[in-house]
A = this chain, B = another copy of it.
């Protein structure tokens, strides 16, 4: 029991990470954002194809939450049948750095667990 006991100086950073994860919670949210991010605009069925394993029910639910948090916008185009486009909002675009870092890390990780 010595000086490795709680150094209060870092509580702020840990809470900040927690705040971020509060918005990005859910099994699929980050993958959905990355799909929209890399294509700049994306339709419902496109995202369904981009994200391996997601169901339409879950996609619908998580898109709603992302829209509520102002990270993405939803635009209905008046085609027949209708088309819906999802885009990152200006605020959502502030996540691009994180998405890019995750993609970089994921590629390195894949190298490591597969071929080396």
* Nearest neighbor of A112 in chain B, beta-carbon distance: B91
Q: A13-B38, A14-B51 are in contact. Are A20 and B98 (CB under 8 A)?
A: no
A6 to chain B, nearest CB (A): 6
A82 interface contact, C-beta 8 A: no
B16 touches A102 (CB 8 A): yes
A66 interface contact, C-beta 8 A: no
Interface residues of A (CB under 8 A from B): 4-7, 10-21, 23, 25, 27, 30-31, 34-35, 38-39, 41-43, 46, 49-52, 85, 91, 94-95, 97-99, 101-110, 112
Alpha-carbon distance between A94 and B106 when the two chains are bound, in angstroms: 11
B98 touches A102 (CB 8 A): yes
A17 touches B31 (CB 8 A): yes
A85 to chain B, nearest CB (A): 8
Q: Which residues of B contact A46 (CB under 8 A)?
A: 5-6
A98 touches B101 (CB 8 A): yes
B18 touches A52 (CB 8 A): yes
A20 touches B105 (CB 8 A): yes
